[in-house]
Amino acid sequence: MPIQVPAGKLDTGPAELGNMKITELFNNPKEPIDALLGTEKDHEEKDKESKFDLDDDLIFYMHNNDDFYRRNLFPVLKVCKDKFDHGGGFSHRMFKPIVARAYESYRKEFPLRELEDSLEEEQCEAIARKIYNTELGNMKDGKYQ
């Protein structure tokens, strides 16, 4: 026994009878697609996020490049930790030669034309201070045992 489905008008929404082209959805002059999707603010945030921060990127490189970390940063951290354990202090200046070497290595691995030939003294000092503050905090918190 065959079953018959009653023929009625299909509800096709704003496209009415289904004769709308897909391009008409995106060519609405009243509102741009970003406004419809709520993504117009996302573009501005992505532009702000894509700014290049050499200080943080170089510190990340120093900690996450295994070869550089083992050969350069770890030995200095070990000396600093020994001084800290014996009640002595250490200065952020201990990290300046490491920062300079890291910059050279970073430039070789990532040859960006935005990078200068050498790191400015002020920026090297600032990066060394950041590392010093972070590592001293780690030592005080007992993260290096």
pLDDT at 34: 64
Separation CA 126–CA 93 (nearest Å) = 10
- The three-state secondary structure class of 53 is coil
Q: Which DSSP state fits 50? A: T
Domains of the chain: which residue ranges?
Answer: 13-49, 54-140
Higher pLDDT, 56 or 114: 56
Would you say residue 44 has pLDDT above 90? no
Separation CA 85–CA 135 (nearest Å) = 13
Whether 137 contacts 96, CB under 8 Å:
no
The model scores a pTM over 0.75: no
pLDDT at 70: 95
Would you say residue 50 has pLDDT above 80? no
50 Cβ contact partners less than 8 Å away, ≥ 6 residues apart: none
Summarised one tens digit per residue, pLDDT across range 52-88 is 788 999 999 999 999 999 999 999 999 999 999 898 8
Summarised one tens digit per residue, pLDDT across range 14-23 is 555 566 666 6
